[in-house]
Amino acid sequence: MNKTLLGYVPNESPIYAVHPFVKLFFLLIVSLFPMFVESPEWNILLMVATIVLMWLSKVDMRTLKIYIPVAISMGSIILLSYTVMGGTHPEFELLARLGPVNFYWERVRDAIVVYFRVLPMIFTMVFFLSTSRERDIIVAMRSIKVPFVATYIFAMALRAAGMVLEDFQIVRQAEKARGYDPAGKSIPYKVRQYIMYMVPLFALSLRRSEEFTNALVARGYAFTGSASKIKRADYILTHYSFKYFDYLIIAVIAVSFIALLLFRYGFGAFATEESVLLSLLYQALH
């Protein structure tokens, strides 16, 4: 596994043969799929398909464990927002009443629909981050002619985030070296400590931005003036070329998206009324 600023990527993977733009295209388009799908089973299918793609791409599946608490807490928040804090709706079908709180079937159904819409989106993002190095994102943007300044600012933001994380680790280690151990302390105490971390981190960030600016100037980079108007070659792009299967994958994704829109709005497919899973749940709750 190789560490990137955004996570871990496999050392070797068949996905590396795919052009970085295709991966970005997959992320941008496939993560839109659940927006047009209400039936949870279809979104679960998309999620399973994404996990299979991760497995085929030799992503370390153990890393998925870290997303389980995220999935559980997100699901709980969505369910609570829709049910306990969902308000009173006389027009909805009441399932149960717990004191002043009414549980309506429509709100439970909507919570499930939303939850299973968000999950595949997250998995698509995880798939992208688990198979793309930082350079891939930059290459993907540059290959569709996003201006260099925009891609470079994005790269600098990634780099800056990485530096802040590194500095944060250094500050934490320095705290620990001086006997600070947050284990067993209360949450307000830990929050106060985090605020304390911010002071050296802020000072370090200021110093680093000065050094970073100096490095940019020293390397002849200029945002303005005649130096900024020089036509720059994009050497890194010479390492990447679109192959026939890249076009094929892009076509498959694009056609799938168009088909999805057609089925959704032309034939009313993927609606809650069509959902077998929701129908079974409805029967179970009654």
**Cβ proximity of 264 and 29 under 8 Å:** no
**Residue placing its CB nearer to another protein in the complex, 29 or 160:** 160
Residue 162 in contact with another protein, rule: CB under 8 A: yes
CB of 220 to another protein, least distance (A): 4
**Cβ proximity of 23 and 136 under 8 Å:** yes
The kind and range of the H/E element at 32 are: none
Among 184, 188, 225, 266, binds another protein (CB under 8 A): 225
Of the CA atoms within 13 Å of residue 47, those in its CB half-sphere come to 19
Residue 173 in contact with another protein, rule: CB under 8 A: no
Binding piece for another protein, criterion CB under 8 A, among 60-68, 88-96, 134-142, 179-187: 134-142
Q: Which amino acid type is present at position 268?
A: G
Binding footprint of another protein, residue count (CB under 8 A): 41
CA distance 110 to 51: 25
**Residue placing its CB nearer to another protein in the complex, 97 or 145:** 145
CA distance 123 to 80: 22
x/- letters, 74..113, toward another protein (CB under 8 A)? ----------------------------------------
Among 77, 156, 261, 280, binds another protein (CB under 8 A): 156
Residue 3 in contact with another protein, rule: CB under 8 A: yes
The residue behind tokens 């792009």 is 237
What does each C-alpha distance from 142 to 43, 139, 237 come to in angstroms? Answer: 31, 5, 8
Residue 241 in contact with another protein, rule: CB under 8 A: no
**Residue placing its CB nearer to another protein in the complex, 235 or 244:** 235
Which two structure tokens, joined as six digits, stand for 28?
Answer: 């941008």
CB of 252 to another protein, least distance (A): 29
CA distance 195 to 209: 21
CA distance 22 to 206: 37
The kind and range of the H/E element at 55 are: helix 40-56
Query: Taking Cα atoms as reference points, which of 255, 250, 251 lies closest to residue 23?
Result: 250
Query: Taking Cα atoms as reference points, which of 213, 177, 151 lies closest to residue 24?
Result: 151
Residue 174 in contact with another protein, rule: CB under 8 A: no
Binding piece for another protein, criterion CB under 8 A, among 12-20, 112-120, 179-187, 223-231: 223-231
Among 48, 77, 217, 276, binds another protein (CB under 8 A): 217
**Residue placing its CB nearer to another protein in the complex, 217 or 261:** 217
Among 211, 273, 283, 284, binds another protein (CB under 8 A): 211
Instruction: List residues near another protein by CB under 8 A.
Output: 3-5, 133-135, 138, 155-156, 158-159, 162-163, 166, 208, 210-222, 224-228, 230-236, 238
